Structure 1
């Protein structure tokens, strides 16, 4: 389902399901990140659901906590994002030891150096802020830059993440598009 107008980057709380038809395959990006073939195939077959809670703490800092689940309720990665642009280290079973930072940007020029069309183009008309996440692998040598926002996909408003994974001279571009799942009464 398309994202309703009341859902913004300031309120992502809810359930979002990755739309595999509208999203790019994650396999090339995962391969570049050193994820094994069998794990990549299992991820490719699964439907990934994001259970998202967004809130602002007492200091006024936004937090976005995402618990991923795969088809059948299989637990995936946990993303705990603190949007203060401060590097934090983290280790998980899929990506290993990484450090990452996430923050708000108010112009496309602030997304990287502003010249990467894959990251900056195609966002919803009138969008004035984005979430940008930068992750560096501390043991596998790759980097990820991910931009979150809303875009028009086939005439519908969708939450999306544009992602660039790089390692050495190799680069993989990946767009993830999500369906909104309304709360059940």
Structure 2
């Protein structure tokens, strides 16, 4: 169904839009325009022995105050493809679903020590097992912790992070639909076709003020490896 962006809970997107080269006046128009996102999806299953299922997702943004942009098309098979974006022009996309691995609460306090390689082991906290694709000048540990939901956008405050929920569609992770680990999250990586910036996101659900809300944790990097973090809440 439709999801309204909650700008009171979402990060300020002005620094990210500025990094992506959006002019000041257009940035202000975007920031003060209420948006609704409508997501639809369908699946395709291969006819070979793997029986692999691929999810295809279409996200349409609508607003009562502005013209509606073309839909955002996502194929969750980790194949590279191109699409046109009304703000940025040509973008190159890759998308996939990822499972979770566990990290101890002690490791989270001191910084992520990487995944545990599987499901939680008692006191472990399950987080998305995201392999960061962005090229970052500081090595990317903070970015990885944020995308996994270990810390908030300030990079310091510990976060309860994403809810751990199982797939509702069989076959996304092989014949039995399970694969290694727990949970399921969307991992989206875009780069501007003619260079300049990359965007990487993890999609899932979080409990915020006692309510289950759809969120997108994002990092946008420039050509020097500098970056900005943001969380969008719907």
Q: TM-score range by the shorter chain?
A: 0.7 to 0.9
Choose the corresponding residue for 2:220, options 165, 173, 182. Answer: 165
Could you say which structure has the larger radius of gyration? 2
Aligned-pair CA distance for 1:153: 0.8
Mapping of residues 22-171 of structure 1, within 5 Å: 22-59=9-46, 60-72=53-65, 74-107=67-100, 109=115, 110-113=129-132, 115=141, 116-121=144-149, 122-125=161-164, 128-167=183-222, 168-171=224-227
- Compute the TM-score of the two structures, normalised by the length of structure 1: 0.82
Aligned-pair CA distance for 1:76: 2.6
> Looking at both structures, which has the greater relative contact order when contacts are Cα pairs under 8 Å and sequence separation is at least 6?
1
Judge which range, 15-24 or 121-130, deviates more: 121-130
Residue 8 of structure 1: aligned partner = none
Cα 1:41/1:77, change in 2 over 3 Å: farther
RMSD in angstroms over aligned alpha carbons?
1.9
- Compute the TM-score of the two structures, normalised by the length of structure 2: 0.66
More strand per residue: 1
How many residues of Structure 1 are paired with residues of Structure 2 in the alignment? Answer: 165
**Does the 8 A contact of 1:70 with 1:76 survive in 2?**
no
Give unmatched runs, 5+ long, in structure 1.
1-13, 179-185
CA offset digits 1:99-123 (Å, max 9, x no partner): 0111100125531259511100111
Aligned-pair CA distance for 1:89: 1.1
CA offset digits 1:23-75 (Å, max 9, x no partner): 01111111111111111110001011111102212433111101111233620
